[in-house]
Amino acid sequence: MAAQPGHCLFVSKPTGYELVEREGEPPAVGSKVELDGQGRWEVNRIGQSPLPQDRRPCAYLLPATS
C-alpha cells in the first residue's frame, strides 16, 4: 500500500483527543504548533498515524507550556 501524502496531528485537549490532517511534512519534535486560534501545542514525538492502514507520519502534540 502506498503511503498517503501529508501528515496528521494528534492533539491532546482537556476534552479528549483530536486528529487533524495536514499537507506537507510533519513539524519537528519540540516545535510549537498553533491551530486556528485554539491555542498552542508542542510536538512531543513523531510516530505513525493511529488510524488503521494509515502510514502517514503523525505529530503527537501536548499543550505548550510557554
Count how many Cα atoms sit within 13 Å of the Cα of residue 58 in the half-sphere of its side chain. 19
Nearest Cα neighbor of 10 from 57, 66, 64 is 57
- The pLDDT value given to residue 24: 95
Chain Cα centroid distance, residue 12: 9
CA distance 54 to 31: 24
Q: What is the pLDDT of residues 1-18, one digit of tens each?
A: 456 789 999 998 888 999
pTM of the model: 0.86
Please state the rounded mean pLDDT for residues 38-66. 93
Q: What is the pLDDT of residues 21-45, one digit of tens each?
A: 999 999 999 999 998 888 899 999 9
